[in-house]
Amino acid sequence: MSLQPSPCPSGDEKVQLFGLLLETNARLSRSLGLELESTCDLPLAWFDVLLQLRKSPEGRLKMNQIADAIVHSTGGTTRLIDRLEVAGLVERQNCPSDRRAIHVAITDVGNEKLDTALNVHLGYLEENLATRLTKVERGQLADLLTKLNETR
């Protein structure tokens, strides 16, 4: 009995689908990042942090919550917050319920910067998402991506 080499998995539909997800994310992130930097002088990672802070119920998050939300290491997040703080876009605050924890809060300057960036972001999404996918397709994509993001 001779052993047949297993077929190369690079042609597998699941591998190709995951590659397409990565490629699409990278392309959209790169072009949006360039747009935000050139128009607003705001790196995409900074935009992401400011948006997470804006979406939080109290306008602030603990450092580990930010790291989880933006899928960064805690060390990388600390350095990122340091740069945002120097720029005056966020500030560190003591956590009233836990003396060991520090909250990061968006500042008024950060909110103004985010408002400007969101207008650019919405224009980008209109051009690169809304004009390419129908409303039904966008809903289907949102449902599918939400399903993939659910924790098991």
- Average per-residue pLDDT for the chain: 90
Q: Residue 95: what pLDDT?
A: 80
Q: Residue 7: what pLDDT?
A: 65
CA distance 20 to 24: 6
By percentage, how much of the chain surpasses pLDDT 70?
Answer: 95
Return the sign of the alpha-carbon dihedral for residues 102, 107, 113, 114: positive
Q: Residue 2: what pLDDT?
A: 56
Those residues with Cβ within 8 angstroms of residue 13's Cβ, 6 or more apart along the chain or in another chain: none
- Flag whether pLDDT at 120 surpasses 60: yes
**Domain 25-149 class?**
mainly alpha
- Flag whether pLDDT at 54 surpasses 60: yes
Confidence of residue 59 (pLDDT cuts 50, 70, 90): confident
Q: Residue 63: what pLDDT?
A: 86
- Flag whether pLDDT at 5 surpasses 90: no
Terminal alpha carbon distance of the chain: 41
Confidence of residue 106 (pLDDT cuts 50, 70, 90): very high
Please state the rounded mean pLDDT for residues 78-90. 95
Task: Return the domain boundaries, the chain.
Answer: 25-149
The pTM for the full model equals 0.83
pLDDT tens digits, 12-40: 888 999 999 999 999 999 999 999 999 99
